[in-house]
Structure 1
Amino acid sequence: MTKAQELGKLNLDDPINKHSPFEVCNPHFPYEQITIRQLATHTSSIKDPSSYEKNGYILKEVENKEAKVNSNFRSHSKKMVLNEFLKNILSEDGKWHKKNNFLKTKPGAIFEYSNVAAGLAALVIEKATNQSFNEFTNEHILTPLGMSNSGWSFTEVDFSKHSKLYKDKETELAFYQSVNYPDGGLITTSNDLGKYFTELIAGNNGNVSILIKQSDRELIRPQLTDKNYNERNESAYNDEYNMGVFIGISAQGQIGHTGGDPGVATNMFFNTETKMRKLLIVNTYLKK
């Protein structure tokens, strides 16, 4: 997002409807504009409704043999593109659109993590740059950093090296794809993700290579205050105490992110005081 701004394709404070392929507004506040920055800081008032979970995971294969298929995994034939998926949720004429898909608070007011908003941010980038999201990120992030074993789909990586996914120690999960893939669907390795992590840390120290310094500062600058929260979690590794641009910041100086989908979990944190860095990728659920 900051790279697109750096290239002059958009401004973080632009209304999303300047770049969105379809109109989006909070029906509780129809005259309040949602901005790109609000998408990036999870203050857009867009929620993750039940339709996101019910329709967001598509099986890779038609037949999955002994691998477990979760109840919310949709059949291979139900595959749809990101634009269609998000339009169904967010557009007034979308088939899953409901007032309850939005908070009853003004855009920009309250933090609520939203995977749907992250997906919409990718569509905004596509419209603003006239490139697909995977092409844009390949050109400006993955290739410059040498992340040659990373991609947004099974066809962009060497699938023969892909780890199996597990629900638990005994139960193998079927392979699936996330329709809303920009919210965390990057297929990568610990080595490749470490390259991105190293760049993020270098940026914190003012030694960026793929962003100019101003863009990098914006990426990791804390952008929220107490008024954006009903309650703030001050634990060391909670990445929602504050937000940069899609980057989490904990109350104790940790910069990074956590994430998970069925059969996969990732934690990545850099301590700005001790300079300690931690990166974990597992091919199963993490128990809390």
Structure 2
Amino acid sequence: MKCFPALVLLLGVPLLGTAQAPSPDSLTTQLSRLASASGLPGFGVAVVNSTGILYEHSFGYANRQTRQPYSAGTIQNVGSVSKTFIGVALLKAVEQGLFTLDTPINEVLPFAVHHPRAPAQPITIRQLATHTSGIIDREAAYRKAYVPRTAATAALDSAERHALAQWQLAAFLRDYLSPKGRTFRPANFSPDAPGTAYHYSNIGAALAAYLIELKSGLSFAEYTRRYIFEPLKMHDSGWLYEPRRANRYALNYKPGGQPLCPYSLLTYPDGGLLTTPHDLGLYLAEILRGAAGQPSLLLTHASFQTMLGPQFAAAAPPRNLHPKEPNSGIFWAIRRNGQIGHTGSDPGASSFMFYNPQTGIGKVFITNVALDENEALTKQFGAIWQLLDTLPAAK
């Protein structure tokens, strides 16, 4: 689950002129033109505020081969936007008294994790959630977290799939982080001691979700279903492929148009959320409610302030921060222009979800192709993203 260092630069750069704000119908027409002229297989967008979804529409194809349209109900993986759900789940677990953000992870884990270059310094949950733990993604090991979706796995019933996913997550993390593990190496950690430098870490994020499993007694998939998806009526969201919805899933594509084989992720919480443009719009609208101090179905106002507030002291930030994202919430990126959200990228999938605290408007974009692998697609996304700002209600 990569972040988007190049694409993030586009999020605050005006790409369009100051044309008259279109009506929703006119916006759909303009987006349709951009979609037709683009190389995007399909995509869905939503514009939201704290009252709900102001605009949503989808374009192109979820499956080019079968001509299946991409719709607001098309299900696909969204990459690292998934990490924001770990953030919500962590704050819910704090509210439940399972731990605090400053709890050392070794007080929860059944195996000890020590940074090889600072073994006496505890790693905390907050450090996992701000990518400052010192745990990094060693490519040779992390790429093995991506596995083909097999017919045998798909044939398991729901309880068996969830039990398998829970076991695989625990096994991967133990192997990678415990000195006795098969894939453990000192190179699984950065040269920097915990809390001193920013290193984006998918494995660190998956570890945070695993801590929730250990303390709650629920799989992360079940925990998020109970405390996020069900309250928000995100009926088409989950973490594991469901054969009964086979005709609802988007096919992932390479930038050249070739379809990819379906895959799953052993460290699924770090980027394996399967959701729809509509459901993600519902989620972001609820985040805006909580951010504005309105009653929320997810968290208390204090928890929202912690989750979305800057975690790094301005006078002493960790090293290695991206200049466009100089601070971080709890698995929520805080951009220099004040926008808060996350990007997501995976083979054949890209997603963007950000909101502006000043305007109270949020935007969602999901597509079934990896944008960061193609400059032309990146520019096409940028035009679509900026056009969403012209919706009259988004002013």
Compute the TM-score of the two structures, normalised by the length of structure 1.
0.88
- AA aligned to 1:279 is V
CA distance in 1, matches of 2:365, 2:197: 30
Residues 7-26 of structure 1 mapped to structure 2, 5 A cutoff: 7-26=96-115
- The one of 307, 319, 334 equivalent to 1:230 is 319
Q: Is residue 151–residue 157 contact of structure 1 (8 Å, CA) maintained in 2?
A: no
Instruction: Report the residue type matching 1:263 in the other structure.
Output: G
Matched, 1:176 2:269: no
Moved more, 17-26 or 154-163: 154-163
| 1:284 matched residue in structure 2 | 369
Shift of 1:159: 2.6
Q: Supply the distance in 2 between the matched residues of 1:234 and 1:116 (Cα, whole angstroms).
A: 23
Q: Does 1:267 align with 2:355?
A: no
Report matched runs for 1:33-72 at 5 Å. 33-61=122-150
Q: 1:134 aligns with which of 218, 221, 225?
A: 221
State the AA in 2 paired with 1:212: T
Distance 1:157 1:104 in 2: 46
Gaps of 5+ in 2: 1-89, 153-165, 379-395
Q: 2:213 matched to 1:213?
A: no
Q: 2 CA distance for matches of 1:17 and 1:146?
A: 35
Give how far 1:129 is off: 0.9
Contact kept, 8 Å, 1:111 with 1:228, in 2: the verdict is no
1:80 deviates by 6.9
- Residue 343 of structure 2 is aligned to residue 258 of structure 1: yes
* Matched position secondary structure for 1:158: helix
Cα distance between partner residues in 2 of 1:232 and 1:49: 19
Deviation at residue 156 of structure 1 after TM alignment: 8.3
> Which one-letter code corresponds to 1:270 in the other structure?
Y
* 2:41 equivalent in structure 1: none
Please tell me whether the aligned partners of residues 195 and 318 of structure 2 are also in contact (alpha carbons under 8 angstroms).
no
Residue 134 (structure 1) shift:
0.7
Q: 1:217 to 1:127 in 2, by over 3 A?
A: same
- Greater Rg over alpha carbons, structure: 2
Aligned partner of 2:234 in structure 1 is 147
Say if 2:337 is the partner of 1:248: no
Measured at CA, do residues 262 and 94 of structure 1 come closer, stay the same or move farther in structure 2, by a change above 3 Å? same
The structure with more helix, counted as a fraction of residues: 2
Inter-partner Cα distance in structure 2 for 1:82 and 1:108: 25
* Residues 150 and 156, structure 1, Cα contact 8 Å, conserved in 2: no
Relative to 1, partners in 2 of residues 1:234 and 1:106: Cα closer, same or farther, differing over 3 Å? closer
CA distance in 2, matches of 1:194, 1:10: 30
Cα distance, 1:102 vs structure 2? 0.5
Contact 1:259-1:266 within 8 A present in 2 as well: yes
What is the letter of the counterpart of residue 155 of structure 1?
A: E
SS at match of 2:344: strand
Shift of 1:157: 7.1
Task: Please list every run of 5 or more consecutive structure 1 residues that lacks an aligned counterpart in the other structure.
Answer: 64-78
State the superposition RMSD in angstroms.
1.9
Instruction: Tell me: higher relative CO, structure 1 or 2? Use CA pairs within 8 A at least 6 residues apart.
Output: 2
Q: 1:190 to 1:266 in 2, by over 3 A?
A: same
Say whether the 8 Å CA contact 2:350–2:367 is kept in structure 1: yes
The structural deviation recorded for 1:103 is: 1.2
| Inter-CA distance 213–105: structure 2 relative to 1 (3 Å threshold) | same
CA distance in 2, matches of 1:48, 1:179: 14
Is the 2:141–2:183 Cα contact (8 Å) retained in structure 1?
no
- 1:189 deviates by 0.1
Shift in alpha-carbon separation, 1:156–1:268, aligned structure 2, 3 A: farther
Give the count of matched residue pairs.
Answer: 269
> Counterpart in 2 of 1:166?
253
* CA separation of 1:88 and 1:8: change in aligned 2, threshold 3 A: same
Match of 1:73 in 2: none
Query: For 1:137 and 1:231, how far apart are their aligned partners in 2?
Result: 31
Pick closer, same or farther for the CA change 1:137–1:156 going to 2, 3 Å. Answer: farther
Q: Distance in 1 between matches of 2:109 and 2:198?
A: 21
CA deviation profile, 1:97-156 (whole Å, cap 9, x unmatched): 111111122111111110000000011001111111111111000100100000000038
Q: Counterpart amino acid of 2:309? A: R
1:187: which partner in 2?
274
- Residue identity in the other structure for 2:199: E
Q: Is the contact made by 2:198 and 2:320 (CA closer than 8 Å) also made in structure 1?
A: no
Q: What whole-Å deviation, never above 9, does each CA across 1:7-33 have from its counterpart, x for those lacking one? A: 111111100011123211101111110
Partner of 1:119: 206
